[in-house]
Structure 1
Amino acid sequence: MALTLLADATDVPTAQAVQLAIEYDPEPPFDAGSPVEAPAARREAALAMID
């Protein structure tokens, strides 16, 4: 639910980047919970968040 609220408060790409950064993938609201599924731009954004 937090990722959905984040998407509403910001935008879907930001929520996807956070989902990837926290590696949330059991039942994700977006297809971005693993580096394999995430778009390249989301991977870069997630790496920037945790770097």
Structure 2
Amino acid sequence: MQTSLTNGVATPEAWQPGEKVIVGSPKTMAEVEKRLTEGLETTDWYFTVKDLA
């Protein structure tokens, strides 16, 4: 829970430090397009994960 609160992300069930975290879904199309250029791992427009490091 500390990781989620500190970094503004969500952690999957059974998450361990060093694994990827879930980034909240974008609110606008501009945010969707921005994510595609940020190097985040995007499965669909609403599901994005990233490393915390």
With normalisation by structure 2, the TM-score equals 0.28
Higher strand content, 1 or 2? 2
| Rg comparison, structure with higher value | 2
Please state which structure has a larger fraction of its residues in helix. Answer: 1
